A and B are shown apart, each in its own frame.
Chain A
Amino acid sequence: MVFSSLVFIFAFLAVLLVLYFAVPKKLRMLVLFAVSLLFYGWGEPVFIIVMAVSIASAYGFGFLIAKYRETNAKKAKLYLALSLGINLAFLLFFKYTNFFIRNLALLPGLSALTPIPWLKLPIGISFYTFQIMSYSIDVYRGDAALQRRLVPFGTYVTLFPQLIAGPIVRYKDIDEQLTSRTENVDKFALGARRFVAGLAKKILLADAMAEIVRYADASLAVSPTVVSAWMLVIAYTFQIYFDFSGYSDMAIGLGRMFGFEFLENFNYPYVSRSITEFWRRWHISLSTWFKEYVYIPLGGNRKGKLKQFRNIAVVWLLTGFWHGASWNFLIWGVYFGVLLIIEKVFLLKRLEKLPAAVSRIYALFFIAVGWLIFYHTDVSAGVRCLGAMFGIGADSFASATDLYDLLRYLPTFAICAVASTPIPKKLFERLHEKYSAFRWAVPAMMLAVLFVAVAYIVSSTFSPFLYYIF
């Protein structure tokens, strides 16, 4: 189930709100656990089994890891390895098997290999696997206490706001909230506002950009122009940001309605002045996860420059591959790894001396090219698009249609550009602080935005049947 659907808002959420706040406090956790499973199983219930096995193994091994942690380091390590191994095995099997089969089949003599047709990616597996792993590691390291009860632990993994697309919550960050947290009207109001803001980002901005992306992509395949290539890349840059950060906003908002405080996942990444800064502002929970559970254990930056570069390379190969089982994601990871190393070696210092506008354009350009790689699962199409951006293989600079589209999408692009900066938020805060009338207007504005967003969701399901082709 996705947040931006009618069935989520008007059935799932409505029922959950009643149920959650009607039952005694003791039972609230159980309610969350149960509805989270329903939420997860909505599309493909079979995968609940996969998730349940992952949860059960980490829960069980948790006891063993905690038991031997102080008395028998070897055994503790073994159980940690088993717990991580089982979880990773699921992820590897479901996500990467067919990728490896497909590529092995390219080798001489192995062409008989064919992908397993029924193998599908369980939704959210990349996210919840990382969450489960963080529990085992946190317990092993003593950063978190053993969770003895299954329901709170199960709820940690399955908690529906962050289950499918993050933020990836580290166990130690939420440990206490699982058992003791307060729900109140202040949190709920903030949460509702945040949810509506995220919904608007997804429905009003990301989906509008997606329309341009689809269109520009189809145009490029037939007659590429410089402008349409740039349109594709810029629109996709906006789409992925508003889609993903909108989703995180909705997750954080929903969590808050039920008393949870998740860490922020995005911090205006497109105002960054370097790629290094970008990755501190984009998908923060993932970068933190890799930093804490891969980069630092590998030695981080404490063992000399060469080791540090190796560690960066490992982390970024993994980050790329985590995003998808396809070559372009690996290239995407390597691309950022290389950029980050270059910045570490010399560029970062120079960037700091440049005017902000210049370093921002530098960062945005390489971020956008990154999204170009990310978007094109067909690598050769990505290369063609990149070429077209600079006139290589383009039919012309711009067609009249490009200009027409550019003009009619100008207001939407402008809204997206402004919404990518902290300006609206700062303005909001200033008005909120200064004017009581504004504070009173906020609930009404929230309602209006929610109304329009719902109108767009309803319209997106509008599918007239036309006696068309005949």
Chain B
Amino acid sequence: MKQQRIINIVTTALFAVFVFVLSLAFIFTPDKESSQTERRKLQQFPEFNWGSFSSGKFGSQINEYFNDQFPLRETFLEIKTAFERLLLKRENNGVLIGKDGQLAVRLFQATDGEIHSDADGNYIEEPYTDKFYEANVKSQLDAIKELESSLAEKGVKLYVLLPPRTVDVACSAFYYPSENSDALIRCVRENAAGLENFIDMYDIYRARYDNGEYVYYKTDHHWTTLGAYYAYAELCKAAGVSALAQSSFTVNVAADDFTGTTAAKGGMLHNDTDTVEYWTAKDSSNVKLKMFVSNDYSGKNGETRDSLFDLSYIDGYDKYGMFLSGTNVYTEITHSDGAFHKKALLLKDSFGHSLAQFLACRYDLTVLNLADLAKINIDPQEYDCVFICYNLENVITARHLLKLRWAAKLVE
């Protein structure tokens, strides 16, 4: 049994080497401040004191520190992703992997509108699912209807666009069946039936996607600038105004190496990248736009910029943030050419950011971020019309549209 003894020595040595080499590598690789792929600050070595130790905080921070600063983190990540592929799972971290580098988030934390807690009263997070709760969709669309009728009394029209998620658009890229998307779209349509101006673009996006048009990003959950343009065209049609033709814009490429949120969520580090475009009207020589952004609702404190596009975002990972400088509570876009422009209010989530560049061709815009606002006060004298642009993901995972019920009561 001499051979077995040597093998045992080899086994012991390999195990020890693996453990010690990585331990030493951990000690000697300098700590990183933040992670580009994970878009967050990494845990640094925690400060030790008895208080934090006895509360267990030190222990859990050390755990975090190890996880965050572990050597070859990205290599290990790729090994795992490759292995999952080998096991034919077709997904990673709830992200679908489709044809031509198309990714889409499949599972969402859909809410039934209740806050759940366990027997000890601890808050329970909503589980990830590809289902949704009809009651939540219905109550939010009812809130929109209430706002519509309040505004109608004052002669202001409301145009509602609830853009689909990537998974609702790029169905043809995946083996994943479209039944859950279809059910959600059906539910939204049924509950939007009473709305006068509900812009239903679900079939349009699917058809355009299947036609090979680049309407949604492959690695990010947003629509592309082209996708936003189509939304603008439909909104104009509903509002009875003429939209600028596609040909009257100059297409500028801001970045062709955009790796968005979906790829980050799925841990796909080497996926195909996306192109971020921003369009500028060709005959805009005498149109000057001014943008005022503020992070308080009163809209008092903020700064003024002379472009809707903030190209400094292109250097970071959040390249979509170049539209309207990312998420702000309150944004005002005004024409400084002295001519008269209609005024519109845009109630939105981040899908509205790339839509705003188009709406601003025709309107002076006030842009409000639905998630941030506790109270929305709409003065009907101030606006000619109101737009809602709010992604289906947020419809099923949050309840912010319910705020419109209060907004409806406040319309005077």
CA distance A469 to B394 in the complex (A): 7
A6 touches B89 (CB 8 A): no
Which B57-91 residues have C-beta < 8 A from chain A? 59-60, 62-63, 66-68, 70, 73, 76-77, 79-81, 83, 87-91
Q: Of A215, A400, A442, A461, which contacts B128 at CB under 8 A? A: A215
A464 touches B40 (CB 8 A): yes
CA distance A41 to B57 in the complex (A): 11
Q: A98-B120, A222-B131, A462-B267 are in contact. Are A455 and B11 (CB under 8 A)?
A: no
Give the Cβ gap from B38 to chain A, nearest Cβ, in Å: 4
Q: Of A186, A399, A461, A465, which contacts B8 at CB under 8 A? A: A186
Give the Cβ gap from A163 to chain B, nearest Cβ, in Å: 15
Binds B, one of A348-356, A403-411, A417-425: A403-411
Give the Cβ gap from A396 to chain B, nearest Cβ, in Å: 11
Q: Of A98, A115, A470, which contacts B350 at CB under 8 A? A: A470
> Does A189 touch B at the CB level, under 8 Å?
yes
Q: A189-B12, A462-B77, A469-B371 are in contact. Are A11 and B66 (CB under 8 A)?
A: yes
> Does B45 touch A at the CB level, under 8 Å?
no
Contact with B along A429-470 (1 / 0, CB 8 A): 000000010011011101100111011101101111111111
Q: Of A9, A98, A223, A462, which contacts B19 at CB under 8 A? A: A9
> Does A188 touch B at the CB level, under 8 Å?
yes
Q: Which residues of B contact A186 (CB under 8 A)?
A: 4-5, 8
> Does B326 touch A at the CB level, under 8 Å?
yes
> Does A5 touch B at the CB level, under 8 Å?
yes
> Does B398 touch A at the CB level, under 8 Å?
yes
| Count of chain B residues with a beta carbon within 8 Å of a chain A beta carbon | 80
> Does A19 touch B at the CB level, under 8 Å?
no
Q: Which residues of A contact B87 (CB under 8 A)?
A: 411-412
CA distance A13 to B120 in the complex (A): 34
Give the Cβ gap from B217 to chain A, nearest Cβ, in Å: 14
B129 touches A461 (CB 8 A): no
CA distance A322 to B59 in the complex (A): 28
Q: Which residues of B contact A452 (CB under 8 A)?
A: 79-80, 83
A411 touches B88 (CB 8 A): yes
A10 touches B39 (CB 8 A): no
> Does A53 touch B at the CB level, under 8 Å?
no
Q: A43-B59, A452-B79 are in contact. Are A470 and B349 (CB under 8 A)?
A: yes
B121 touches A117 (CB 8 A): yes
Chain A residue with minimal CB distance to B127? A218
Interface centre among B5, B14, B15, by most chain A C-beta atoms within 10 angstroms, is B15
Q: A459-B80, A466-B39 are in contact. Are A10 and B119 (CB under 8 A)?
A: no
Binds A, one of B20-28, B283-291, B304-312: B20-28
Q: Which residues of A contact B179 (CB under 8 A)?
A: 399-401
> Does A217 touch B at the CB level, under 8 Å?
yes
CA distance A458 to B72 in the complex (A): 9
Which A84-115 residues have C-beta < 8 A from chain B? 98, 102, 115
Interface centre among B59, B110, B132, by most chain A C-beta atoms within 10 angstroms, is B59
Q: Which residues of A contact B261 (CB under 8 A)?
A: 464, 466-468
Interface centre among B133, B261, B398, by most chain A C-beta atoms within 10 angstroms, is B261
Q: A10-B19, A192-B15, A401-B176 are in contact. Are A466 and B265 (CB under 8 A)?
A: yes
> Does B3 touch A at the CB level, under 8 Å?
yes
B107 touches A470 (CB 8 A): no
A464 touches B38 (CB 8 A): yes
Chain A residue with minimal CB distance to B372? A470
CA distance A456 to B4 in the complex (A): 31
Q: Of A217, A446, A462, A466, which contacts B11 at CB under 8 A? A: A446
Q: Which residues of A contact B89 (CB under 8 A)?
A: 408-409, 412
Q: A467-B318, A469-B371 are in contact. Are A461 and B67 (CB under 8 A)?
A: yes
A461 touches B68 (CB 8 A): yes
CA distance A7 to B132 in the complex (A): 38
Q: Which residues of B contact A408 (CB under 8 A)?
A: 88-91, 175
| Count of chain A residues with a beta carbon within 8 Å of a chain B beta carbon | 74
A6 touches B70 (CB 8 A): yes
Contact with A along B369-395 (1 / 0, CB 8 A): 101100000000000000000000010
Chain A residue with minimal CB distance to B264? A464
Q: Which residues of A contact B79 (CB under 8 A)?
A: 451-452, 455
CA distance A215 to B129 in the complex (A): 6
Q: Which residues of B contact A308 (CB under 8 A)?
A: none
CA distance A452 to B107 in the complex (A): 26
B8 touches A454 (CB 8 A): no
Q: Which residues of A contact B14 (CB under 8 A)?
A: 443-444, 446-447
CA distance A446 to B17 in the complex (A): 13
> Does A150 touch B at the CB level, under 8 Å?
no
CA distance A193 to B60 in the complex (A): 28
CA distance A193 to B91 in the complex (A): 31
> Does B180 touch A at the CB level, under 8 Å?
yes
Contact with A along B188-200 (1 / 0, CB 8 A): 0000000000000
CA distance A469 to B372 in the complex (A): 11
B66 touches A6 (CB 8 A): yes
Q: Which residues of B contact A223 (CB under 8 A)?
A: 131
B19 touches A17 (CB 8 A): yes
Q: Which residues of A contact B267 (CB under 8 A)?
A: 459, 462, 464
Q: Which residues of B contact A217 (CB under 8 A)?
A: 127
B128 touches A464 (CB 8 A): no
CA distance A410 to B349 in the complex (A): 39
B22 touches A10 (CB 8 A): yes
CA distance A443 to B371 in the complex (A): 55
Contact with A along B148-189 (1 / 0, CB 8 A): 000000000000000000000000000111011000000000
Give the Cβ gap from A459 to chain B, nearest Cβ, in Å: 4
Q: A14-B20, A450-B15, A464-B38 are in contact. Are A458 and B7 (CB under 8 A)?
A: no
Q: A43-B60, A450-B15, A458-B70 are in contact. Are A401 and B177 (CB under 8 A)?
A: yes
Q: Which residues of B contact A410 (CB under 8 A)?
A: 88
Q: Which residues of B contact A11 (CB under 8 A)?
A: 23, 26, 62, 66
Q: Which residues of A contact B273 (CB under 8 A)?
A: none
> Does A214 touch B at the CB level, under 8 Å?
yes
Given contacts A13-B19, A401-B179, 8 further A-B contacts (CB under 8 A): A11-B62, A17-B16, A217-B127, A439-B4, A446-B11, A452-B79, A452-B80, A466-B261
Closest 9 CB pairs of A and B: A461-B67, A189-B8, A400-B177, A218-B127, A465-B40, A218-B129, A222-B131, A189-B11, A458-B76
Q: List 27 A-B contacts (CB under 8 A).
A: A1-B59, A6-B70, A14-B20, A117-B120, A185-B8, A185-B9, A186-B4, A189-B15, A192-B11, A218-B129, A222-B129, A377-B119, A408-B88, A442-B11, A443-B11, A446-B14, A452-B83, A454-B22, A455-B77, A458-B67, A458-B70, A458-B80, A461-B67, A462-B77, A468-B261, A469-B371, A469-B397
The residues of A with any CB-CB pair to B shorter than 8 Å are 1, 5-7, 9-11, 13-14, 17, 41-46, 98, 102, 115, 117, 185-186, 188-190, 192-193, 196, 214-215, 217-219, 221-223, 326, 377, 399-401, 403-404, 408-412, 436, 439-440, 442-444, 446-447, 450-452, 454-456, 458-459, 461-470
